[in-house]
């Protein structure tokens, strides 16, 4: 347990705070959180952070409870596990998931934490983590798909003071940077994260001086309490005492084994919701384990509830006492040290699909289909003709699921605030050409609301090098709901200069590429929502015209249209009547078949061997 050294210790005095003050401080903190982003994006160097925004900030109260931010609170796990003193001017750095109870979940995420002191007391915390392009280890990008332990995944930093009493620990920093391939990027990104945390700390101090520290602290209590009361009402109204279950799968572990089951049961006890992952598979021998921080998962749950039922509620930690999360030890979601974690993104993404499958079962009109099924990564590295090392890390996007209130966007991110790396940036800084970047027709699941199409990016490599790929949903489908059809699966293939076509596994490293080889990076589509035969035929015909749905694909909606988008009304009516008469009853979930059927179909379509039975560590 950490010991905070304060020169002026003592409790804060609660005061009554009027609603205007609460509103001003709330919005000031919200702006400070976005100012953290702005500082980071203007000073970081790696495209993963600067362009794609693979970073997550927060501002917390003096107890470490997040008041504004995203991705859950990091402070509690740190305070519980750090055994040293915390003094004014200290800045902490860690990348060890096992030392902070999974607040970060693999070694590429560098987490900075900063106590905010005023007049000798801690009045708050700021924190932010960002994904470093490289942290050493056995492969460029530090995300080996065949790792068996975290020791193969690069430098792992325990919680340390990167600044002590305001002075940077230069020797420690140089020791850390000596382990990585892109030293300047890591140094710049780390400095940018520290600068962002300091910016937020200044804003907290300014608010305390403007309104008084006791008023500031009391306002944060009011914000947390407001969130507690709002979420308590949502839980009472939407979560039943009846137990509901849902199961989804990670397709494979990168070693040829799978699929791996994630199973969750949900029910309400009094005013609390229980989410129990008993039945989830044991931890994998490969690197797909996701060390899931309990507070992070509570935030996932809260975000889903808030966005579906009441988007005006401010996200913060106030509702955490209302959520009881139970995760079996040594499971896929609570692995034991030193289990490998580098491919944990697939489990992280699949958790959102599991939540979607759970939270709408009692009220199917609120169900979302599957679509946040992975977070596909591409790494490309080598030495160019000038003798200079290059290294790309890029996150791809798939189709967003059909939702109760509309179609899923095509080729979009479900991560908050994420964006793509502009093609012009890629071509300017890396030896490649983007030959095409387009949505994949018919890849979104058909439904009353269509699932978003996946995308097909064609990379032409200009220098010899190696690539690594991280993806999932190549075996299982992003499922549809309420009669909606599943989205398409992902695939990756190389067109070699000799004319051959090579289908790649969804998780692979050290694939050699030669100049003018072309990689087609095809992502999954989102599942559909609702009966496709009730979708407005005019909308389907318009999507045919726009190239989002093919003429043949329109028939999944019972629509007959020409390639130019001209609708044949009588033929559409006849086709729909025929399809309705011959189809089976529609279910709530459409997974596209049993696991065995999916394995057979996938092998027939791709030639890839289906995964063997799971191997547990």
Mind listing the pLDDT tens digit for each residue in 63-116?
999 999 877 677 887 888 888 999 999 999 999 999 888 888 999 999 999 999
* pLDDT surpassing 90 at residue 412: no
CB proximity list for 222: less than 8 A, separation 6 or greater: 17, 22
CA dihedral 265, 268, 274, 280 (to 10 degrees): 0
Split at pLDDT 50, 70, 90, the class of 616 is: confident
The pLDDT confidence band at residue 372, using thresholds 50, 70 and 90, is confident
Query: Residue 435 belongs to what H/E stretch?
Result: strand 432-439
How many Cβ atoms from other residues are within 10 Å of residue 262's Cβ?
Answer: 24
Three-point CA angle 510, 488, 451, nearest 5°: 125
State residue 373's pLDDT score: 64
**pLDDT over threshold 80, residue 314:** no
In the block, tokens 């035929």 appear at: 537
Looking at the chain, the whole-number percentage of residues with pLDDT higher than 70 is 98
**Spatial separation of the C-alpha atoms in residues 459 and 481, rounded to whole Å:** 34
Contact 179, 172 (CB under 8 A): no
Q: Is 606 left (phi over 0), alpha (psi -120 to 50) or beta?
A: alpha
Do residues 555 and 575 make contact, with C-beta atoms less than 8 angstroms apart?
A: yes
Chain segment 491-533, per-residue pLDDT in tens: 999 999 999 999 999 999 999 999 999 999 999 999 999 999 9
Tell me what pLDDT residue 103 has.
86
pLDDT at 311: 66
Name beta bridge partners: 221: none
Are residues 519 and 544 in contact, defined by beta-carbon separation less than 8 angstroms?
A: no
Instruction: Render pLDDT for 181-216 as a digit per residue (tens, 0 to 9).
Output: 999 999 999 999 999 999 999 999 999 999 999 999
Q: Are 486 and 480 in contact (CB under 8 A)?
A: yes
pLDDT over 80 (residue 138): yes
pLDDT digits (tens, 9 = 90+) for 555-591: 999 999 999 999 999 999 999 999 999 999 999 999 9
CB atoms within 10 A of CB 279: 14
| d(C-alpha 472, C-alpha 612), whole Å | 16
Least Cα distance to 341 among 176, 93, 108 occurs for 108
């Amino acid at each position: 347990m950490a010991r905070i050294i304060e020169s002026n210790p003592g409790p804060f005095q609660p005061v009554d705070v009027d609603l205007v003050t609460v509103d001003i401080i709330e919005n000031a903190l919200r702006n400070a959180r976005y100012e953290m982003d702005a500082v980071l994006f203007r000073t970081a160097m790696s495209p993963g952070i600067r362009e794609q925004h693979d970073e997550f900030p927060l501002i917390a109260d003096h107890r470490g409870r997040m008041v504004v931010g995203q991705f859950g609170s990091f402070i509690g796990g740190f305070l519980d596990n750090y055994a040293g003193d915390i003094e004014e001017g200290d800045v902490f750095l860690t990348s060890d998931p096992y030392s902070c109870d999974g607040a970060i979940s693999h070694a590429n995420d560098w987490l900075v934490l900063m106590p905010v002191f005023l007049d000798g007391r801690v009045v708050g915390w700021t924190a932010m983590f960002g994904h470093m392009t490289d942290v050493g280890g056995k492969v460029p990008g530090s995300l080996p798909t065949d790792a068996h332990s975290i020791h193969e995944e690069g430098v792992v930093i325990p919680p340390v003071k990167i600044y002590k009493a305001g002075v940077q620990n230069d020797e420690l920093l140089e020791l850390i940077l000596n382990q990585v391939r892109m030293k300047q990027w890591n140094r710049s990104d780390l400095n940018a994260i520290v600068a962002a945390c300091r910016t937020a700390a200044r804003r907290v101090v300014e608010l305390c001086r403007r309104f008084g520290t006791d008023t500031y602290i009391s306002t944060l209590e009011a914000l947390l309490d407001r969130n507690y009361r709002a979420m308590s009402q949502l839980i009472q109204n939407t979560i039943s005492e009846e137990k509901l279950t849902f199961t989804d799968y990670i397709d494979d572990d990168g070693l040829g084994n799978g699929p791996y089951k994630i199973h969750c049961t949900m029910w309400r006890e009094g005013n609390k919701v229980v989410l129990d992952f008993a039945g989830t598979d044991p931890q994998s021998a490969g690197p797909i384990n996701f060390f899931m921080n309990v507070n992070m998962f509570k935030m996932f749950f809260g975000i889903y509830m808030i966005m579906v039922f009441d988007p005006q509620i401010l996200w913060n930690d106030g509702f955490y006492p209302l959520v009881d999360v139970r995760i079996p030890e040594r499971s896929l979601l609570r692995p034991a040290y030193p289990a490998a974690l580098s491919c944990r993104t697939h489990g992280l993404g699949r958790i959102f699909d599991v939540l979607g499958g759970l939270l709408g079962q009692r009220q199917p009109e609120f169900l979302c289909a599957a679509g946040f099924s992975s977070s596909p990564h591409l790494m490309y590295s080598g030495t160019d003709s000038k003798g200079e090392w290059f290294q790309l890390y890029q996150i791809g996007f798939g189709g967003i699921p059909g939702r109760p209130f509309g179609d899923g966007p095509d080729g979009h991110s479900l991560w908050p605030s994420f964006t793509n790396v502009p093609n012009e940036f890629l071509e300017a800084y890396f030896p490649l050409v983007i030959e095409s970047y387009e949505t994949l027709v018919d890849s979104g699941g058909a439904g009353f609301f269509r699932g978003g199409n996946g995308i097909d990016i064609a990379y032409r490599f200009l220098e010899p090098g190696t690539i690594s790929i991280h993806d999932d949903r190549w075996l299982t489908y992003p499922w549809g709901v309420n009669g909606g059809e599943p989205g398409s699966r992902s695939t990756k293939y190389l067109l070699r200069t000799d004319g051959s076509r090579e289908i790649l596994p969804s998780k692979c490293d050290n694939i050699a590429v030669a100049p003018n080889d072309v990689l087609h990076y095809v992502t999954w589509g989102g599942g559909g929502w609702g009966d496709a035969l009730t979708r407005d035929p005019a909308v389907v015909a318009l999507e045919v015209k726009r190239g989002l749905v093919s003429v043949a694909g329109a028939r999944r909606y019972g629509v007959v249209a020409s390639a130019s988008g001209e609708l044949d009304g009588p033929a559409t009516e006849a086709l729909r009547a025929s399809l309705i008469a011959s189809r089976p009853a529609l279910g709530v979930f459409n997974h596209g078949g049993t696991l065995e059927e999916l394995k057979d179909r996938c092998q027939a379509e791709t030639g890839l061997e289906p995964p063997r039975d799971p191997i547990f560590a």
